[in-house]
């Protein structure tokens, strides 16, 4: 076989199959590989033109079909499988070939793999791909990092297949090493935060305003035409309208309230802790998935404690409060994720341009949202913006939304409705905008019991006091 295929893809699951079909749709010849012959045959059939798209279960046939330097993307589960696939490929590759990991790999794994492969003359880089199965087929947001020259060889393909925002491709080279995987990890952390907030607002509307599924559907649909316009608000609206296919009624009411996770949100939180960057709206979203999993314990505990009877709010009023509180909490969640990216950029020398990050998130990915237009402007005005909360783009909007967040958080506390995403966002805001926090007391305590020393407001230096005197 002639080595004429422009692009190779390993892992023909739903994401891989859709991505490779997207590549072929954009007039690149693409070759797939999977050990499962059913997946290989399904791709050949769907591709419907073996000149443009072909596949094999044999890795040698796959490698030999690709033009040089070979561009091979992996869309396989993160972890050991990525290493196993690289081990299989390695003896078959030539110097300057390129391997792109399109999965949600942990960023330090990407650095390790890139270093090991660089020694062998192979370019390896991570490229986060967001947008789920549909995105992969019709245009995902792609977040590549790594060696810039290697990326430039893949750039025409990625720019063609990516989502477009007003004609601009939602892909850009983000920075060296694992920059792409890191940005995708934080994207997912933000995704967790936004999902938690949308679910709390649903709970509030239902419990506080007796919203039916139809009203919820209408309300989220309406919000999706305003400043809350986003993929997550749009699909939430559609979810409320979905009939159950097994029983009467809407499907949402039959789904078990235990949320699973694959780990990327948790990694975001863990790494934020390592960096010393507070991301409480993301942390709590991870904790809530964990708490939701304790269903059996929750059932027992629910019988031990009475909940306050819920005092209802007028539906129109509640809808307005909810829109503002949701906008507020969404902005705060993006603010936290982006401040983590700003810090990680320094710590890991990624040299990220957060305006570009915001721009490539405007279409294709799960956290695409109208808010990102303002976020991109905020970073274009100030590349080193430490936090969205101090950007002119947001100050007035946040000022006018915060009171609704306060009212709803207080309402939730009074009526026993858990709103941890909203309240963590509000607490973050209140702490971040407080000139003097009570942490002077913590410094005093640390010095009291451990001689850990403290600094003073009124003079420079490090101090210690013999408190027991």
Point out which residues bind ligand 6PG (CB under 6 A). Answer: 104, 130-132, 188, 191, 260-262, 264-265, 365-366
**C-beta of 285: minimal distance to ligand 6PG in Å?**
10
Report the residue number, 80 or 260, with the smaller CB distance to ligand 6PG. Answer: 260
Q: Considering the complex, what minimum distance in angstroms separates the CB of residue 129 from ligand 6PG? A: 7
Beta carbon nearer to ligand 6PG, 262 or 414: 262
Q: Which residues are part of the catalytic machinery?
A: 184, 191
The least distance separating ligand 6PG from the CB of residue 227, rounded to whole angstroms, comes to: 22
Ranked by CB distance to ligand 6PG, the top (closest) residue is 130
Per-residue three-class SS string for the chain: CCCCECEEEECCCHHHHHHHHHHHHCCCCEEEECCCHHHHHHHHHHHCCCCCEEEECCHHHHHHCECCCCEEEECCCCCHHHHHHHHHHHHHCCCCCEEEECCCCCHHHHHHHHHHHHCCCCEEEEEEEECHHHHHHHCCEEEECCCHHHHHHHHHHHHHHCCEECCEECECCCCCCCHHHHHHHHHHHHHHHHHHHHHHHHHHHHHHHCCCHHHHHHHHHHHCCCCCCEHHHHHHHHHHHCECCCCCCEHHHHCCCCCCCCCHHHHHHHHHHHHCCCCHHHHHHHHHHHHHCCHHHHHHHHHHCCCCCCCCCCHHHHHHHHHHHHHHHHHHHHHHHHHHHHHHHHHCCCCCCHHHHHHHCCCCCCCCECHHHHHHHHHHHCCCCCCHHHCHHHHHHHHHHHHHHHHHHHHHHHHCCCCHHHHHHHHHHHHHCCCCCCHHHHHHHHHHHHCCCECCCCCCCCECCCCCC
CB of 357 vs ligand 6PG, minimal distance in Å: 14
Choose between 129 and 335: whose C-beta lies nearer to ligand 6PG: 129
Which residue, 259 or 377, is less far from ligand 6PG as judged by CB? 259
| Closest distance to ligand 6PG from the beta carbon of 174 (Å) | 15
By beta-carbon proximity to ligand 6PG, the closer residue of 104 and 425 is: 104
């Amino acid at each position: 076989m002639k080595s004429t295929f422009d692009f190779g893809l390993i892992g023909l699951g739903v994401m891989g199959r859709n991505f490779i079909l997207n590549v072929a749709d954009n007039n690149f010849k693409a070759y797939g590989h999977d050990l499962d012959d059913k997946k290989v045959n399904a791709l050949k059939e769907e591709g419907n033109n073996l000149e443009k798209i072909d596949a094999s279960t044999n890795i040698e046939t796959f490698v030999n079909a690709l033009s040089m330097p070979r561009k091979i993307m992996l869309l396989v589960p993160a972890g050991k499988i990525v290493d196993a696939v690289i081990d299989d490929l390695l003896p078959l590759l030539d110097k300057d070939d390129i391997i792109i990991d399109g999965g949600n790999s942990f960023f330090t794994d990407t650095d390790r793999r890139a270093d090991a492969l660089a020694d062998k003359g192979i370019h390896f880089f991570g490229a986060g791909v967001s947008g789920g199965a549909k995105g992969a087929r019709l245009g995902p947001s792609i977040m590549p990092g790594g060696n810039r020259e290697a990326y430039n060889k893949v750039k025409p393909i990625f720019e063609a297949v990516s989502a477009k925002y007003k004609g601009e491709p939602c892909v850009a080279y983000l920075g060296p090493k694992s920059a792409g995987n890191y940005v995708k990890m934080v994207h997912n952390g933000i995704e967790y935060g936004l999902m938690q907030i949308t679910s709390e607002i649903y709970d509030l509307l239902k419990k506080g305003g007796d919203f039916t599924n139809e009203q919820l559907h209408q309300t989220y649909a309406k919000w999706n035409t305003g400043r809350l316009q986003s993929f997550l608000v749009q699909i939430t609206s559609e979810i409320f309208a979905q009939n159950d296919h097994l029983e009467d009624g809407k499907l949402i009411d039959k789904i078990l309230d235990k949320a699973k996770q694959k780990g990327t949100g948790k990694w975001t939180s863990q790494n934020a802790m390592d960096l010393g960057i507070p991301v409480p709206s993301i942390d709590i979203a991870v904790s809530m998935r964990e708490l939701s999993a304790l269903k059996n314990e929750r059932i027992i505990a629910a019988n031990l404690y009475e909940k306050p009877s819920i005092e209802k709010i007028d539906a129109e009023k509640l809808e307005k409060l909810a829109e503002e509180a949701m906008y507020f909490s969404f902005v705060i969640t993006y603010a936290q994720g982006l401040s983590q990216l700003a810090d990680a950029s320094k710590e890991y020398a990624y040299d990220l341009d957060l305006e570009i990050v915001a721009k490539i998130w405007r279409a294709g990915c799960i956290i695409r949202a109208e808010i990102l237009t303002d976020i991109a402007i905020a970073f274009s005005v100030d590349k080193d913006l430490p936090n969205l909360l101090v950007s002119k783009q947001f100050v007035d909007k946040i000022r006018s939304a915060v009171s609704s967040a306060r009212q709803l958080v207080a309402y939730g506390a009074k009526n026993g409705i858990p709103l941890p995403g909203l309240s963590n966002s509000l607490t973050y805001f209140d702490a971040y905008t407080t000139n003097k926090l009570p942490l002077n007391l913590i410094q005093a305590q640390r010095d009291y019991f451990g001689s850990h020393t403290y600094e003073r407001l009124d003079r420079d230096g490090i101090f210690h006091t013999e408190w027991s005197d």
